[in-house]
Amino acid sequence: MGESLKKIESGDRTVWITQPNEIENILNRREAAFNIAKEKLASEPSKIETAMQIAEAFGRGLFEEFIKKNSDDWTMEKWVKPIVGNIFNPMGTTATFTKITEDEAKSLIFRCQLHEESQEPHIASLFTYGFLRGMLLSAFPDGEILMGSSMAQGAPMIEFTYKMNATDEDRLERERIKEVFMNNTKKSE
């Protein structure tokens, strides 16, 4: 695996680290997908559905390329481990899973490089929700991801609940998230 240099600046210091090209590829793809979603929302704020579809497609692509090969018989634990190792860590996302059962997991994401770099917390939260939803539904088509808090709403972390089998009420979450972000977009105009 080839490596490239990555520049990290903090205050008056600059550090260069090597990172495998595979990680750089994931980060470049995330940036490209995020920018497309952001451009759609900038051109027409009501395009939240389109932005979410772009994020979900990005998540499905990540699952297909980096996660799917790990199992044919998914449990929540089998899904979480490669997500953390193959997706979260390379993306600079730090999460603590506070609960993992056979059919449900809860996480607190307290560092999300996309939020730090984008300076657009509402769009970054929407994109994060969308790509995680795409990865979850790739393994669990009857599942759903619930968002309890968001960095876009001033919280220091994002709280997610991942469910293998969604209830009827859980299935309304995607529409609730779209409405929250639509309202936040209108407020920022």
Question: Over the stretch 60-81, which tens digit does the pLDDT of each residue have?
Answer: 999 999 899 988 899 999 999 9
pLDDT of 37 > 80? The answer is: yes
What does the block give as tokens for 37? 């979603």
Do the Cβ atoms of 115 and 139 come closer than 8 Å?
no
Q: What are phi and psi of 103, to 5 degrees?
A: -125, 5
Cα–Cα dist 18/158, whole Å: 29
pLDDT greater at residue 152 or residue 176: 176
What are the beta bridge partners of residue 163?
A: 104, 144
pLDDT of 1 > 90? The answer is: no
- 79-83, 117-121, 183-187: which is most confident: 79-83
Q: Whole-model pTM?
A: 0.82
- In CATH, what is the architecture of 3-188? 2-Layer Sandwich (3.30)
Least confident of 21-25, 101-105, 131-135: 21-25
Residue with tokens 């657009």: 120
Instruction: Provide the mean pLDDT of the chain.
Output: 83
Q: Is 163 helix (H, G, I), strand (E, B) or coil?
A: strand
Categorize the per-residue pLDDT at 114 as very low, low, confident or very high, splitting at 50, 70 and 90: confident
pLDDT score at 19: 47
Q: What is the pLDDT of residues 123-136, one digit of tens each?
A: 888 899 999 999 99
pLDDT of 163 > 90? The answer is: yes
